[in-house]
Amino acid sequence: MYYYIRTFGCQMNQHDSQFAAALLEKSGYEPTANLDEADIVLVNTCSVRESAEKKIFGFIDSLILRKRIKPSLRVVIIGCMVSAEEAVDNLLKKRKHIDIVLGTRSIHRLPHYLELLESESGPFVEIDLDHEVVEGRIHKREDFYRAFLTIMYGCDNFCSYCIVPYVRGRETSRSMNDILAEARSLVADGVKEITLLGQNVNSYGKGLSEEENFANLLLAMEKIDGLERIRYMTSHPKDFSEEIIDAIASSSKICRHFHLPFQAGSDRILKAMNRHYNREKYRDLILNIKNHFPDAVLTTDIIVGFPGESEEDFCETLSLLKELEFDLAYTFLYSPRRGTPAAESDSQVPQSVKKERLLRLMDVQNGISLKKNKAMVGKTYMLLGEGPSRTDPKVQSGRTDGNKLVHFEAKEDYTGKLVPVTVTSANTWSMRGQLLK
Ligand code: SAH
Ligand code: SF4
Ligand code: F3S
């Protein structure tokens, strides 16, 4: 019996899919990359923007025909799109081919419902966002040398545009002991790089003892022998404290990559977004980081066309982007999400204006990204090897501490190994390099 998983959305979802995969394999299923062969199709959904949702509905609906041809096919929908009752009702109304629906905190119930399906017909739905955190999750890793490690679930920030707090529930931190035990067992299993996951990792520790905070967690992770690199996702600028900066400065394993979404450059818009920082505070934070870590790689997220965003507001985003010179910016068109405060606003920005602003933003950023990458030419970096390219086995790739992708030619396989490479040329998205002999 084969399972096929399609994952949409962020690293949280990728990690949840690794959990679902491990559960399915424990129940005796084998993975397949061929949809035609699958006995179970599991779709892990994302609702952060409408464009993502449209694609997901398209994929789910394409399974109707498959089930007609193969009535024994099980269709399982999990993730953020199915974490509110109304959304689930809408989904199921027209789609009789779905067997199991599990919210983001109910994935551990998958084996139970698969077993129930043997004797009863579905659909079975469980979307309990208040469910307590499940410890002892198992994951099927894609790479032997790197792993995700969830340190907290949910989000309490309620940025006014964002659906995440409604679909992932309240912020719940795992105990530091549980996290460190999992980290040690991953390292014993060959993991060299761990990415700590949470919607707002900087506020880790809410509801736990005073010592259990993000800075102390980083310091404790640093002490794990055999672990080479520590990453974390995502940081909220309002909670990125001096203690965290000090912890990173004292560390040799925490990567000098800072992903700090600023979303908008205008104070008026930041306030309407409920972000709890202003332009000046954000600017000071970035300058402070640049001061501490001159070689830091900086990335950010930006939303264009938030309700009420004027041309003037947008120009403030543009000028902050130009001034701070990020290595990379993930830019999004504002997408109204039902149930969020911003979606109710009657000053929505027309789609054509949003698109035009996005293009201007991307144009500026692409120039900066290229300039930043070109500045790396001639320098040598330690890469963590990610293995040979699918199209050309002579070419391998790896990532710098700053998470930049470099391709290089090599005969030996450097997957999961640290290797020095000198950058020889650069374009906007990646670089070429030469192995240092
Ligand atoms: N917790 C993380 C990630 C949230 S989702 C954080 O706070 O950074 C990732 C990004 O999607 C956000 O940073 C934001 O830029 C974007 N995003 C979230 N909701 C959106 C919406 N309704 N429309 C457009 N972009 C959105
Ligand atoms: Fe969404 Fe804001 Fe929470 Fe990030 S911090 S997940 S943008 S509500
Ligand atoms: Fe999407 Fe859920 Fe992540 S809405 S971005 S998969 S937290």
Identify which of 81, 157, 162 to mutate to test ligand 1's pocket (most ligand atoms within 8 A of the CB).
162
User: Measured from the CA of 337, which atom of ligand 1 is nearest?
Assistant: 22
CA 108, 118, 88 angle in degrees (round to 5)?
A: 55
User: Measured from the CA of 156, which atom of ligand 2 is nearest?
Assistant: 3
d(CA 330, CA 34): 31
Distance 7 CA to ligand 3 centre (A): 11
Place of tokens 């800072």: 258
Decide whether any atom of ligand 3 lies within 6 Å of the 233 Cβ: no
d(CA 330, CA 241): 23
User: Measured from the CA of 302, which atom of ligand 1 is nearest?
Assistant: 15
Identify which of 199, 233, 269 to mutate to test ligand 2's pocket (most ligand atoms within 8 A of the CB).
199
pLDDT of residue 134: 86
The model's pLDDT over 219-238, given as tens digits with 9 standing for 90+, comes to 999 999 999 999 999 999 99
pLDDT of residue 391: 84
The model's pLDDT over 245-282, given as tens digits with 9 standing for 90+, comes to 999 999 999 999 999 999 999 999 999 999 999 999 99
Q: Looking at residue 348, what DSSP letter applies?
A: P
d(CA 355, CA 334): 10
Beta bridge partners, 426, equal 431
State the DSSP H helix or E strand holding residue 217, giving kind and residue range, or none if neither: helix 214-222
Is the separation of the CB atoms in 151 and 217 below 8 Å? yes
CA torsion, points 274, 245, 259, 157, in degrees to nearest 10? -20
Amino acid at 244: I
The model's pLDDT over 190-212, given as tens digits with 9 standing for 90+, comes to 999 999 999 999 999 999 999 99
- pLDDT tens digits in sequence order for the chain, 437 residues long: 999 999 999 999 999 999 999 999 999 999 999 999 999 999 999 999 999 999 999 999 999 999 999 999 999 999 999 988 889 999 999 899 999 999 999 999 999 999 999 999 889 999 988 878 889 999 999 999 999 999 999 999 999 999 999 999 999 999 999 999 999 999 999 999 999 999 999 999 999 999 999 999 999 999 999 999 999 999 999 999 999 999 999 999 999 999 999 999 999 999 999 999 999 999 999 999 999 999 999 999 999 999 999 999 999 999 999 999 999 999 999 999 999 999 999 999 999 999 999 999 999 999 999 999 999 999 999 999 999 988 888 999 999 999 999 999 999 999 999 999 999 999 999 999 999 97
| Ligand sitting nearest the alpha carbon of 9 | 3
How many Cα neighbours within 13 Å face the side chain of 303?
24
Q: Quick count: other Cβ atoms within 10 Å of Cβ 280?
A: 9
pLDDT of residue 172: 94
Beta bridge partners, 150, equal 197
Decide whether any atom of ligand 2 lies within 6 Å of the 158 Cβ: yes
